[in-house]
Amino acid sequence: MQIETERLVLRKFQYTDDEDMLKYWVSDPEIQSMYSEPVYTTKQDVKELLDKYISAYEKDNYYRWAIILKETGECIGQIAYFLVDNNNHFAEIEYCIGRHFQRKGLATEATKAIIHYGFYKMNLHKVQICHKSINIPSRKVIEKCGFVYEGTLRDFFYMDGRYVDRLYYSILKNEFIGLK
């Protein structure tokens, strides 16, 4: 399940990732709110999250990777197929990367790597992804990966006293092959 790219290693989470997770993303309210996850502030909170991630690796269709920066060995984020439908050959991606590592092409690099994994190792026909309308950096990652806009679920989230749309995109295997 490990994947290597030019600058990253995508691998299963380990308990030793806890400090980097706290340092780079799980304790950041803005980062966590962009993909509707709670904020974790203690090592015990992170251990419980890691318990959930690590124990789930025993399932056949569980795909979650720690994003490790090759240069430093630090865990700078996570990426996953959080919804997998084997009957219809599609899956949906979520990702999160620490603020310090954004706008450097790392999320795009990780996303392209697991799209490839999905099409060639999981035998997917379609990969989908979504973002909150206020998450412009995520939209840019999605566009760089070649996803096609599918539609908007209007006023899907209620955040900070206002409604926010959820935008959906997808890419088909034959479209991804064309991007190579």
**Encoded tokens for 6:** 């030019």
Question: How do strand 126-132 and strand 90-97 relate by DSSP bridges?
Answer: parallel
Confidence (pLDDT) at 179:
62
d(CA 38, CA 27): 9
| Domain that includes residue 89, residue range | 3-179
Tokens 């974790």: give the residue. 40
pTM across the whole model: 0.94
Q: What is the chain's length?
A: 180
Q: In what order do the strands lie in the sheet with 90-97?
A: 3-4, 8-11, 63-69, 75-85, 90-97, 126-132, 162-172, 148-159
pLDDT, residue 178, reads 63
Tokens of 166: 């959820």
Q: How many CB atoms lie within 10 A of CB 8?
A: 23
Domains held by the chain: number = 1
| Phi-psi region at 10: left, alpha or beta (left = phi > 0; alpha = psi -120 to 50) | beta
- One pLDDT digit (tens) per residue for the chain, 180 residues: 899 999 999 999 999 999 999 999 999 999 998 888 999 999 999 999 999 999 999 998 899 999 999 999 999 999 999 999 999 999 999 999 999 999 999 999 999 999 999 999 999 999 999 999 999 999 999 999 999 999 999 999 999 899 999 999 999 999 997 665
Reported as type and span, the H/E element at residue 8 is strand 8-11
Q: What is residue 35's predicted lDDT score, i.e. its pLDDT?
A: 82
- Residue 1 has what pLDDT? 85
Q: What CATH number has the domain bearing residue 75?
A: 3.40.630.30
The residue among 135, 134, 140, 131 whose CA lies nearest residue 169 is 131
Backbone angles phi, psi at 114, to 5 degrees: -80, -20
